[in-house]
Structure 1
Amino acid sequence: MKKETEFKATNGYIMLFILVVTITGMMTGLIIFDNPLFLLLGLLIILIIKGFFIVNPNSSKVLVLFGAYKGTVRDNGFFWANPFFSRQKISLRARNFDSERVKVNDKIGNPIMINVILVWQVSDTYKSAFDVDNYEEFVKVQTDAAVRKLAGSYPYDNFDDEQAEFTLRSGMDEVNEALENEITERLAIAGIKVMEARIGYLAYAPEIASSMLKRQQAVAIVAARKKIVEGAVGMVEDALHKLSTDDIIDFDDDKKASMVSNLMVVLCGDKEAVPVVNTGTLNS
Structure 2
Amino acid sequence: MFIWKAIMRGPPDSPYEGGTFELSIHLPPEYPLKPPQVAFRTKIYRPDIDDNGGSIGIDILKDKNWTPAHKIKEVLLSIYKILLWDPQLDNSLEENTANMTKTVARKWTQKYAMGPAYKTISKELKGFKRSPPSYASAGRVDGDMFHWQATILDLQGSPYAGGEFHVDIRFPLQYPKEPPKVVFGPKIFHPNIDSNGRIGLDILTAKWKAGVTISQVLFEICSLLKNPNPDAPLVPEIACMYNTDRKKYVTTARRWTKKYAKG
Higher strand share: 1
User: TM-score higher than 0.5 here?
Assistant: no
TM-score scaled to structure 1, two decimals?
A: 0.27
Higher helix share: 1
TM-score scaled to structure 2, two decimals?
A: 0.28
